[in-house]
Amino acid sequence: MMIERGYVINLYHVWKMEGTSVVLDNKTVLPVSQNHAKEVRETITGFFRRHL
């Protein structure tokens, strides 16, 4: 999933989303475009619901 221009993430490595940042399982914090934050949050939430 593209979260910002230049950042593509694998949803299996997302640990959580804080505000307009995504935290990966290795504690890397990546910015999320404010324009895409709602869409990214919905996608991550849906992914967690399907895979937990």
Q: Judge if pTM exceeds 0.95.
A: no
For the chain, the structural domain boundaries read 2-51
**pLDDT tens digits for 8-36?**
999 999 999 999 999 999 999 999 999 99
Q: 47-52 contacts: CB < 8 A, separation 24 or more?
A: 47/11, 47/14
Instruction: Give the pLDDT score at 52.
Output: 80
Q: Structure tokens of 10? A: 């694998």
